[in-house]
Structure 1
Amino acid sequence: MRATQFARSILTFAALMTLSAQADDRNRRSILLSEHPANGPHSVYVKGQVITTLRFEQPVNPSKTKVIGWEGRLEPLTVVHNKVILEPIRDLHRDDGLPLVVTLADGTEVPFLVRPPWLKKENDWAPLLDQQIDVFKNQDSYASMHAALADALAKNNALTEENDRYRKEETSEDHALAALLASGAIAQTPFNVADRFNGNDGDTEISAQVYRGKGKAAVVLRVKNLNPEHSWSVQRVRLVTMNGGRDRPVAVRATLREITPGGSGVLAIVADGGAFVEEGALTSLWLEVYRHDGLRQAFVELDPSLIAR
């Protein structure tokens, strides 16, 4: 395999891919309002140039609905019947919290805090983006109970899928190999280095090694987080056929769940030789790594010659 095959496509950094502005189930949630005085305002997590919609059960009074300190940070607030639409001009700072008061047609005032898409979980920061929030005042209404049931089912299905995935990974040869690569135990694997590349986009510095194996291929990314504020983590890894764009299974292991500002970590990815077969013939694959905020961080072409015995 020639080095130039990789040089054209090895690392493509953050500007290539942004989060879609169209809400999906991952970025949609429900809020049930509480009358308890101890409960503070709900947070709304927004991202620069991505629309977030708050949807209520009754019309919203636009003259009494406002965001404090929005100038230079958000586009002017838009109210359409029972919807409040937010669109940040740019990403908010992690410590930002813009007060939003939504006044419903019956005079009820609902307070929120407009925040960047980062949620504190124990000792880590995890990404969270709201693209649609369904807000229910009447917890006994059909719509409210239906939303609560849908949320519970979605969480249960996600946990079930996660448990099934963990069980499969415990006995997976590819995941075991990825764990060895991530830990630096290259000598205990069947892989040999086929190519090396480096890249830096200002926020992230990556050195990449592409490996040839016996019926398998692998990529190891050594990541240094140069961002002074946000931790770096992987949102997803995709392996697809170059021509048809069909997804292929891939094993992923990382030394850290999140890389804190100034820190470093290793991401190891292993693809079985069967992933390179399409309609009985060998085909090249695209490996895509998306980081915490949905931006595509790395883009690697894997040639079938990597799995040659």
Structure 2
Amino acid sequence: MRDFLHCRSVLLAVLVASVASAKDREPQVRNVTFPHRPDQVARPVYVAGEIATVLHFEQNVDPARTKMEGWEGRFEPLGVAGQSVVIMPLHDLTPEDRLPLVVTLVDGTQVPITVTADKDNVDHQVNLFWNPETVKYLRADLESALGRERRYREENERYERERKSPDHALAALLSSGAESQTSLIFRRRYIYNNEGQTDIGMTVYSGRGKVAVVIKIKNHLDRLWNLSQVRLTSATDFWHPFSKTRECAVTMEPHSIPPGDTGVVAIVADKGAFTSESGGLEPLALQLIRDDGLVEAFVKLEPSLARQ
């Protein structure tokens, strides 16, 4: 029995994953301080479809001289009131989308902004400061430094956990092409083309208490191929945006795939991932989602793959 569904047959999953990808990103209130004049360097602002992003400045904004290029059909008209500018995208952007926005303050100061997207974060509010003599600037600078320190610490802790994890070690071996150095048993392979954008080769392995999937991606896009999410859920409700995701180890080589190149994503899950809320075993659905929300690969995994 074929347990693989071609990407065309999971169009609903593509649409849901695209929406979930935007909604699941971590919202943030961010302070931006300018070491020099605010008109010298364009700062990025990260947006997502149907989510409002507020830019807050130290002075009132001139609505007549605040404009964004290429917004028609993709954004609602800019909302400008007092010291704030509201950006509302109608649809998701990709990191390759970079729309120039120039905010002009009432004193004539122009602040260039690049409106783009990030696969992990959405700016709900961005506070911009450029007068280092003010208390607000100093407080924002300190908060930014503390935030960076916290993120670095969390990232180091995650790397340390992954370094000690057998599943991540196994995924690293698989992503480097060293399948023969593992005890995994080949079960099935799928090869297909996603409408000329990518060639996908997917191999499913059975292990002792483990299941592994190795996905090779040939990038035919004219941009970098970036991974947004590996989504492992129950096969009965994979299409639902709030379905519970199961833990798995993921390794990708390289981190981004240049046009014309090939990359590998290796996924390893423990047999415990197949345990349902009622305590029984259930099949899982694995989705590989790239940064623009497209489901590049989909496969159903049976509990028997994680053999005793």
Same fold (TM over 0.5): yes
Aligned equivalent of 1:166:
159
C-alpha deviation, 1:67, in angstroms: 3.4
Count of residues in correspondence between the two structures: 297
RMSD: 3.7
> Structure 1 CA distance, aligned partners of 2:51 and 2:94?
12
Contact 1:11–1:199 at 8 Å: present in 2 too?
no
Contact 2:56–2:83 at 8 Å: present in 1 too?
yes
Aligned equivalent of 1:299:
298
With normalisation by structure 2, the TM-score equals: 0.77
Change (3 A) 1:92 1:214: closer
> Structure 1 CA distance, aligned partners of 2:145 and 2:283?
41
> Structure 2 CA distance, aligned partners of 1:93 and 1:280?
41
With normalisation by structure 1, the TM-score equals: 0.77
C-alpha deviation, 1:268, in angstroms: 0.7
Q: Which moved more, 1:254-263 or 1:58-67?
A: 58-67
> Where do residues 258-273 of structure 1 align in structure 2 (5 Å cutoff)?
258-273=256-271
Contact 1:59–1:82 at 8 Å: present in 2 too?
yes
> Where do residues 104-253 of structure 1 align in structure 2 (5 Å cutoff)?
104=106, 107-117=107-117, 130=123, 132-139=125-132, 141=134, 143-197=136-190, 198-228=192-222, 230-242=223-235, 245-253=243-251
- In structure 2, the residue corresponding to 1:283 is in which secondary structure? coil
Aligned equivalent of 1:98:
100
Aligned equivalent of 2:55:
54
C-alpha deviation, 1:269, in angstroms: 0.5
- In structure 1, the residue corresponding to 2:213 is in which secondary structure? strand
Change (3 A) 1:75 1:193: same
Contact 1:68–1:99 at 8 Å: present in 2 too?
yes
Aligned equivalent of 1:281:
280
Contact 1:224–1:262 at 8 Å: present in 2 too?
yes
Change (3 A) 1:192 1:129: same
> Structure 2 CA distance, aligned partners of 1:37 and 1:176?
46
C-alpha deviation, 1:259, in angstroms: 0.3
